[in-house]
A and B are shown apart, each in its own frame.
Chain A
Amino acid sequence: MLMRKDAVIIGGGPAGLAAAVALHKLGVRDIVILERESQLGGILRQCIHDGFGLQRFGCSLSGPEYASIFIEEVRRLGIEYHTDATVVSLSAAREIEAVTPEGILCYHARAVVLTMGCRERSRGSVMIPGERPSGVFTAGSAQAYMNIYNRMPGHEAVILGSGDIGLIMARRLTLEGAHVNAVFEIQDHPNGLERNIVQCLEDYGIPLYLRHTVTDIHGNSRLEGVTVSKVDEHSRPIAGTEKFYPCDTLILSVGLRPDTELLLDAGIELDPRTHGASVDEHLMTSAAGIFSSGNVLHVHDLVDYVSLESEQLASSVSRYLSKGFSSDRALKVRCGRGIGSTVPQKVSSGDGFTLSLRFDAVMENVVVKVSQDGRDILKKRMRKANPAEMVRLDIGSGATACSGDLEVSVE
């Protein structure tokens, strides 16, 4: 049976929950959340460390606590949701099929909200050679073993990659009695937030080696050790620098990618820079009525901004449902010097919006400039530019003209 909804929200993590609550409060009540796990909350359920909610709630919460604030709101408002419901297809005409233990659910939605989050890059994605023993985990799966299933991944660990989850897991393993040898990062700068370098590594005397990577994995059934090499400025291993580290556990924290398989089905245009959908300032994708926010749009550092972005999405969806708009005549937002990526990637009206960006290198004392046809719209001075930290700039209503592409660059 085909069910009609004003909005179907795919994914019940922090982005989907915030979007649902905000939509309900804006009067869009004919909505449903589809979540593939058996509980709402997404990745926050396994992020038991604190530090969530500092921007939004002014206090430091754990992931499950942060999620529960939104989950309780969803329940209190009586918003419909299905858990154990995996969406298997999405069309550009906004038809959705989900499989559940009770059978197949089919929806035709006036608006679709894509909030499926991201996935971890794995050993295969970074192509580490060597044998294939057990004991090689992504940071997130090690986190799930420890924090959800109460199982230790191992006792003698090496961590590859300095993303935040890897740093958090270095501390978590140490607290639970494992020994963490070192964290190795192939780039010349750490990938995680500065505060995590301090409170997860320095506090516990765990060394961080930049410009190093794992070049071999040893072990038949269980991991016995890894070979680590220095790399040159092109990230190529330098012969003769190999060093063997005995360990039973290798944790990979080598990046996150938006989980966009459903978008491919629907023929939605992706941005090769963010690996998520290419959207306009209303967070609408190339398919009319299909919107996206959170980590499936672009990987965030902080959940507080995932919630905020999803609330901005909700107000766009609400206006779309009442008035409708299109992004057919959108202007491009170009990445100029020093800019790695932006969201949105196009602008289709004079409405105010938040411009999120990442730098492409570590820099000091920079001025970020947003311009259109040589006219400066906004300039912002920053003490440091760090690709590991997303920057958000508010572009005022009426700031953009109706012709000429925008450019974001570093002066």
Chain B
Amino acid sequence: MRKALTCIICPNGCPLEAEISDAGITVKGNLCIRGEEYAKEEVLDPKRTISSSIRLLHGDMEIVSVRLNRPVPKAMIFPIMEAIREARAEAPVHIGDVLIPDVLSTGADVIATRNVARVEEKV
């Protein structure tokens, strides 16, 4: 079986062709090794990273932007979005802070991508 894919690893966006047989998967059209790895994974178990924001308590912004630090299976995207929606973080936060470790046991952490300072509530 053949499958046409577009590599999403970098902005080159190589048009890939994965040939799937009993002997394994062979990939054509990639300019670099990452394209081959991407195509194999895309056929067997497609993965993505996502970005969103988490509600922040005592921050000088209402939210802090976050992303996953490694890709997760596509089917986990919406369950993880639900976990992100329910989560709250306490300011201050710094870039790289782990706000949800090993989210839904995927092995990926939800990390902060912005520095947000703390403000104390007005009395």
Complex interface bits, B69-106 against A, C-beta within 8 A gives 1, otherwise 0:
00000100110010000000000000100000000000
Does A270 count as interface, using CB distance less than 8 angstroms? Answer: no
Contact B11 A195 (CB under 8 A): yes
Q: Residue on B with the closest CB to A168?
A: B51
With the chains together, A146 CA to B51 CA distance in Å? 12
| A-B CB contact pairs (8 Å), 11 listed | A45-B114, A48-B52, A54-B9, A64-B65, A64-B114, A65-B113, A68-B95, A68-B114, A148-B61, A150-B63, A198-B13
Q: How distant is A208 from chain B, measured CB to nearest CB, in Å?
A: 13
With the chains together, A98 CA to B41 CA distance in Å? 53
Q: Residue on B with the closest CB to A64?
A: B114
Q: Which of B6, B77, B113, B115 has the most CB of A within 10 A?
A: B113
With the chains together, A236 CA to B29 CA distance in Å? 37
User: Contact partner of A198 among B6, B63, B81, B115, CB < 8 A?
Assistant: B6
With the chains together, A49 CA to B9 CA distance in Å? 14
Does B48 count as interface, using CB distance less than 8 angstroms? Answer: yes
Contact B13 A195 (CB under 8 A): yes
Which residues of B are interface residues toward A (Cβ below 8 A)? 6-11, 13, 48-53, 55, 61-63, 65-67, 74, 77-78, 81, 95, 113-115
Contact B52 A176 (CB under 8 A): yes
Contact A149 B62 (CB under 8 A): yes
Contact B51 A48 (CB under 8 A): yes
Contact B13 A193 (CB under 8 A): yes
Residues of A within 8 Å of B67, CB to CB, are 48-50, 62
With the chains together, A68 CA to B115 CA distance in Å? 9
Interface residues of A in 61-102 (CB under 8 A from B): 61-62, 64-65, 68
Does A269 count as interface, using CB distance less than 8 angstroms? Answer: no
With the chains together, A337 CA to B123 CA distance in Å? 68
Contact A49 B114 (CB under 8 A): no
Contact B8 A198 (CB under 8 A): yes
Complex interface bits, A376-391 against B, C-beta within 8 A gives 1, otherwise 0:
0000000000000100
Contact A50 B51 (CB under 8 A): yes
Contact B65 A195 (CB under 8 A): no
Does A328 count as interface, using CB distance less than 8 angstroms? Answer: no
Contact B6 A194 (CB under 8 A): yes
Residues of A within 8 Å of B6, CB to CB, are 194-195, 197-198
Contact B48 A203 (CB under 8 A): yes
Q: How distant is B104 from chain A, measured CB to nearest CB, in Å?
A: 15
With known contacts A62-B65, A65-B113, A195-B6, A389–B49 Cβ distance under 8 A = no
User: Contact partner of B53 among A48, A54, A60, A195, CB < 8 A?
Assistant: A48
With known contacts A48-B113, A50-B51, A175-B52, A193–B65 Cβ distance under 8 A = no
With the chains together, A303 CA to B54 CA distance in Å? 25
User: Contact partner of B95 among A51, A64, A148, A199, CB < 8 A?
Assistant: A64
Q: Residue on B with the closest CB to A62?
A: B113
With the chains together, A54 CA to B10 CA distance in Å? 7
Does A224 count as interface, using CB distance less than 8 angstroms? Answer: no
Report the 7 A-B pairs with minimum CB-CB distance, sorted nearest first: A194-B13, A48-B65, A195-B8, A62-B113, A64-B114, A150-B62, A150-B63
Q: Other than the known A149-B62, A150-B53, A195-B9, what 18 A-B pairs have Cβ atoms closer than 8 Å?
A: A48-B65, A48-B67, A49-B67, A50-B49, A50-B67, A54-B9, A54-B10, A60-B49, A62-B65, A64-B114, A146-B53, A147-B63, A147-B65, A150-B55, A175-B77, A198-B6, A198-B13, A203-B74
Residues of A within 8 Å of B49, CB to CB, are 50, 60
Q: How distant is A368 from chain B, measured CB to nearest CB, in Å?
A: 16
With the chains together, A51 CA to B71 CA distance in Å? 13
Residues of B within 8 Å of A150, CB to CB, are 53, 55, 62-63
